[in-house]
Amino acid sequence: MLEKIQETAGFIKSRVQTIPNIAIILGTGLGELVHEISDKKDIPYENIPNFPVSTVEGHSGKLIFGKLGGKDVIAMQGRFHYYEGYTMQEVTFPIRVFQALGIKYLFVSNAAGGMNGSFDIGDIMLIDDHINTFPEHPLRGKNYKELGVRFPDMSDAYNKELRLLAMQIAKENNIKLQHGVYVGTQGPTFETPAEYNWFRIIGGDAVGMSTVPEVIVANHAKMKVLAFSIITDLGVIGKIVEVTHEDVQEAAKIAQPKMAYIMQEVIKKIN
């Protein structure tokens, strides 16, 4: 595993002039943020040694280098999911490569179903915390001390300082920003009404099929994380309707410019 991480990091270093300390993961329907990145250079996943390849519609599968908010960034246009059949180590492999490249900040986005009755489709939710319901943990197995401690702390999994900064930017620009707890599930089915209700009872505000494994590994790697969910469908009793992947993509596209603006402004303000 360590050899694969170093091989992949070495390949990336040989292809770009500048290695940033900020990485961004773009979720379903949220790949348009790359249009805000200037001086772009992209590397398709299939050209990167040891990288999985995204198989989901709405995930184009490129690693993009450039500038956003005046800072050098790496953006993953398309991520990997447990439901695609990948192991947790494969799902989170890019985070390990980011660690080897010296990434300090990780920005994450996803499309999610909202269970909070105050949410509307198209809302942006700042993730305050998460609940992990995946059947496999990304840190299960041998722990490599080069990557992190055996029992990492998760009390500030979503960095408080970055969240406060995002809230301030949203307020100054009259952008409606919800807050909540994200429930990570394995998928690929959307939730039943009873599951939505259960996730709400245990403290969830939104539910999706990604993010949690990546955030766990990012914390293991001592990265500071900021994450957003775009509420693309509702799992609120009385408001549940049939939902398709295309519906999720469309709702994400409409909401993403506001999320992109917040991300860009946060990036401007961090060192």
pLDDT of residue 76: 92
Q: Which of 258, 257, 251 is nearest to 231 (CA)?
A: 251
Q: What ranges do the domains of the chain cover? A: 1-269
pLDDT of residue 121: 86
Q: Is domain 1-269 classified as CATH 3.40.50.1580?
A: yes
Q: Are 220 and 147 in contact (CB under 8 A)?
A: yes
pLDDT band at 38; cut points 50, 70, 90: confident
Kindly tell me if the per-residue pLDDT of 59 is higher than 60: no
Mean pLDDT over 162-182 rounds to 96
pLDDT band at 271; cut points 50, 70, 90: confident
Kindly tell me if the per-residue pLDDT of 58 is higher than 60: no
Q: At what angle do helices 160-172 and 245-269 cross, to 10 degrees?
A: 100
Of 53-67, 157-171, 175-189, minimum mean pLDDT range: 53-67
Residue 175 neighbours by CB distance under 10 Å: 17
- Write down the pTM of the prediction: 0.92
Q: Are 37 and 73 in contact (CB under 8 A)?
A: yes
pLDDT band at 67; cut points 50, 70, 90: very high
Mean pLDDT over 84-93 rounds to 94
- Give the max Cα distance, the chain: 54
pLDDT of residue 29: 58
Of 28-42, 151-165, 171-185, 217-231, minimum mean pLDDT range: 28-42
pLDDT of residue 56: 59
Give percent above pLDDT 70 in the chain: 91
